[in-house]
């Protein structure tokens, strides 16, 4: 038990930390505070108002740009919706052209109507795609059938069931095709 008494436990924090490592908090010189230039309250108010006006101008500019972008998108969406409504007419005219008929006047009338519709589509910026012999692109074509044909290459469209349409970068209708090999 005498050994426990010899190992005296420190009672204060000063005994735990050696004296040379204890540092007193240093006060910063008050001269640095005196060197700050005094700001004019009118200048502060001017800077605050100027900053708020700059922020307001930036918000208005962002609003204007966003409104123009939304207007362009709504016009494009409206145009695409109108084209989707006209596609059944295109399909019916195409079927009528593919039907054999002996009436030349009837056939000529359907051809003129089809040519006028294609001209209108072209004027609206509609691109018609999906022809036999083109290479298959899953971003543009919907493959509904597959065939083995050695005369055609790999991933080549063998037959087109429905043409595809796009306005700019927006696909209005995917082309329905049969892919070879």
- pLDDT tens for 124-179 read 999 999 999 999 999 999 999 999 988 888 889 999 999 999 998 899 999 999 99
Residues across the chain: 181
**Residue 33 pLDDT class (50, 70, 90 cuts):** low
- For 66-120, how does the pLDDT look when each residue is reduced to its tens digit (9 = 90+)? 999 999 899 989 999 999 999 999 999 999 999 999 999 999 999 999 999 999 9
Residue matched to tokens 């109108």: 82
Q: Phi, psi at residue 85, to the nearest 5°?
A: -70, -25
- Do 94 and 113 form a contact (C-beta atoms < 8 A)? no
* 175-180 and 156-162 beta bridge pairing: antiparallel
CATH of the domain at 97: 2.30.22.10
Question: Is residue 115 a part of any domain in this protein?
Answer: yes
Q: Which residues have CB under 8 Å from 86's CB, separation 6+?
A: 117, 121
Q: Number of folded domains in the chain?
A: 1
pTM above 0.75, yes or no: no
Q: Domain limits at 133?
A: 47-180
Kindly state whether residue 23 falls inside one of the protein's structural domains. Answer: no
* Contacts with 90 (C-beta within 8 Å, 6 or more apart), sequence order: 114, 117, 121, 163
């Amino acid at each position: 038990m005498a050994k426990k008494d010899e190992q005296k436990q420190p009672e204060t924090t000063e005994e735990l930390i050696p004296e040379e490592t204890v540092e007193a908090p240093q006060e910063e010189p008050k001269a640095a505070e005196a060197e700050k230039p005094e700001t004019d309250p009118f200048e502060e108010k001017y800077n605050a108002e100027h900053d708020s006006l700059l922020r307001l101008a930036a918000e208005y500019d962002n609003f204007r740009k966003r409104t123009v972008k939304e207007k362009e998108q709504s016009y494009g969406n409206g145009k695409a919706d109108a084209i989707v409504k006209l596609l059944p007419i295109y399909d019916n005219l195409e079927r009528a052209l593919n039907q054999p008929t002996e009436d030349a006047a009837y056939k000529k009338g359907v051809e003129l109507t089809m040519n006028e519709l294609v001209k209108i589509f072209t004027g609206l910026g509609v691109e018609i795609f999906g022809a036999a012999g083109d290479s298959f692109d899953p971003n543009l074509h919907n493959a509904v059938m597959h065939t083995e044909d050695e005369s055609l290459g790999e991933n080549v469209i063998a037959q087109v069931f429905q043409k595809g349409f796009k306005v700019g970068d927006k696909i209005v209708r995917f082309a329905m095709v049969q892919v070879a090999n």
